[in-house]
Amino acid sequence: MQSLTIEETPRLNKKILLVDDYPPTRQLIRDALNQTGYTDVDEAENGREALDKFGDNQFDLVISDVMMPGMGGMELLNQLREISPDTSVIMITAYPAEELTVSAMKKGAVDFLKKPFNIDDLLYKIDIYLNEKTILHNSQDTFNVSEIQIKDKTKELSVQGYIYDSFENIEGDNDYVFNKIVDLSLKVVEGEECSLLLFDEEEKTFHPKVVRSLNPERYESETIPALKQIFNEVVERKEALVINSTEHFEIAPSLICAPMMIRGNIFGILCIRKKMHRELFTSKDLHYIVSLAKRASLNIENRILYESIYNNVLDTFRSLIASIQLRDHYTEEHSFRVTQTAVKIAEAMSCSQQEIESLKIAGLLHDVGKIAIPDNVLLKPDRLTYEEYGIIKTHPDVGEQILKPLLLFERERSIILCHHERWDGKGYPSGLTGSEIPFLARILSVADSFDAMTNNRPYRSAMDVDRALGELKKNRNTQFDGQVVDAFLKIL
């Protein structure tokens, strides 16, 4: 059995030069590189200064702007091909004309990025090209740019781009993402069987999650010692392998196994196989699968991170609401009931699942701003004075401000901010009218008012349901959105 691996040299060993006349751009890229583990980063403000830096150093990668005073990126590229043909160059430009792109590729630029660029996009490409350079280095010594190589290069870029784009803004649950990883792997390297297995670190076991094979049971790893041995090797080395074998029926003729990792910890194995009588996988195939596994892992990491932040934040707010409840028994139960009612109205009005999720959060948190209202106002048993009412009216703003730094709850914030706006513009805090008020806030407003009317408050006793409904009808298209009131009346 023969194996082939991509040996990733540590990021620490890679030297990168940033060439841009605008210091904040260099700083942005440098910070991102440092955070990703590339610490050997130098800067130059134009092509001339970059060439001077090459006098004393060699760089693995240059990231260069095109338009710069003194010497621009294209001239730099020209000269680099003479003095350092092995250095990969990524060009960044605000105006990527096609002729410029082709000309730069002919001169050996490995990629182009359009300004303003996405920093994750750049980091992904940097990883790809620095690893690719390691492979190229092993297979050919000189960088001789022929038309065929440019064609190969263009094809490769489009495959890499395709992999990258496939995971950009991917929607759906984790199962959908796992299936997508498997389908894409088969397509990119023309494999015939593919499985994605989750790795249990404690038990050291592999659990098939998605299997595309005519004999799925074959991938129940426990039953195939040869596969288990390969998986263990991938886990141990934290590297992808190509295995070519004529001995093992389950592996022959060619198999790629790649680790899926989050922050250096393996959580899964991606395993793709060609069937008998097909050609073997190449190092290029391995490279594609490695970048696919990395890109997919990054996507999964972001999802997990987002979910855990989201749930943590929600838990924090639940305890915040509970702490208001300690002062004012009304708030927590009220928030719970308002949420239930608002969700029912939203369902009756055919809101999307995402909108309903937003209402659940906004309903729970809509009065969170009351945390800033002093006891003598919040708990006052008598009617409020004008000034005291003014203090109460700050709670939508305060609630919105509490959520603002989190950046997660944009839609929920707008609902919280606007839940006391009125259809006729006489509400607070902004006096918005009609459809200026976010639709979900109009729903919450009806649910909130109905609950407030039908429950005891320190300063007045509860109204019966019929009277409260009469109030809602009376205030159709003055205080409330008439259509929301109608939807509410229908679901009762």
What does R_g of the chain's alpha carbons equal in angstroms?
30
Nearest to 303 by CA among 162, 119, 173: 173
Q: How far apart are CA 63 and CA 15, in angstroms?
A: 11
Is the Cβ of residue 43 or residue 397 nearer to Fe ion in the bound state?
A: 397
Give bridge partners of residue 273 from the DSSP assignment: 193, 255
Is the Cβ of residue 293 or residue 368 nearer to Fe ion in the bound state?
A: 368
DSSP 478: T
CB of 67 to Fe ion, least distance (A): 54
CB of 424 to Fe ion, least distance (A): 18
CB of 474 to Fe ion, least distance (A): 21
Query: Do 427 and 421 form a contact (C-beta atoms < 8 A)?
Result: yes
Q: How far apart are CA 82 and CA 346, in angstroms?
A: 66
Residue 121, number of CB atoms within 10 A of its CB = 16
CB of 426 to Fe ion, least distance (A): 16
Is the Cβ of residue 182 or residue 437 nearer to Fe ion in the bound state?
A: 437
Residue 55, token pair as written in the block: 């006098």
Query: Do 67 and 76 form a contact (C-beta atoms < 8 A)?
Result: no
Is the Cβ of residue 167 or residue 488 nearer to Fe ion in the bound state?
A: 488
CB of 68 to Fe ion, least distance (A): 55
Is the Cβ of residue 167 or residue 409 nearer to Fe ion in the bound state?
A: 409
Nearest to 181 by CA among 279, 74, 268, 60: 268
Is the Cβ of residue 85 or residue 374 nearer to Fe ion in the bound state?
A: 374
CB of 408 to Fe ion, least distance (A): 21
Q: How far apart are CA 92 and CA 144, in angstroms?
A: 23
Q: How far apart are CA 300 and CA 188, in angstroms?
A: 20
Q: How far apart are CA 37 and CA 35, in angstroms?
A: 6
CB of 352 to Fe ion, least distance (A): 25
Interacting residues with Fe ion (CB under 5 A): 367
DSSP 383: P
Task: Give the 3-state secondary structure of 155-199.
Answer: HHHHHHHHHHHHCCCCCCCHHHHHHHHHHHHHHHHCCCEEEEEEE
Is the Cβ of residue 60 or residue 367 nearer to Fe ion in the bound state?
A: 367
Q: How far apart are CA 453 and CA 450, in angstroms?
A: 5
Is the Cβ of residue 196 or residue 365 nearer to Fe ion in the bound state?
A: 365
Q: How far apart are CA 3 and CA 283, in angstroms?
A: 11
CB of 334 to Fe ion, least distance (A): 9
DSSP 233: H
CB of 395 to Fe ion, least distance (A): 6
Is the Cβ of residue 239 or residue 367 nearer to Fe ion in the bound state?
A: 367
CB of 417 to Fe ion, least distance (A): 11
Q: Which residue number places its CB atom closest to Fe ion?
A: 367
DSSP letters for 330-381: HHHHHHHHHHHHHHHHHHHTT--HHHHHHHHHHHHHTTGGGGGS-HHHHT-S
The residue whose two tokens read 């190589």 is 149
DSSP 480: B
| 264 backbone φψ class: left, alpha, beta (φ>0; ψ -120 to 50) | left
CB of 43 to Fe ion, least distance (A): 52
Nearest to 132 by CA among 105, 112, 160, 151: 160
Query: Do 419 and 396 form a contact (C-beta atoms < 8 A)?
Result: yes
CB of 484 to Fe ion, least distance (A): 16
- Distance from first CA to last CA of the chain, Å, rounded? 71
Residue 295, token pair as written in the block: 């890109």
Query: Do 293 and 260 form a contact (C-beta atoms < 8 A)?
Result: yes
CB of 444 to Fe ion, least distance (A): 9
Is the Cβ of residue 46 or residue 331 nearer to Fe ion in the bound state?
A: 331
Q: How far apart are CA 492 and CA 486, in angstroms?
A: 10
Is the Cβ of residue 263 or residue 383 nearer to Fe ion in the bound state?
A: 383
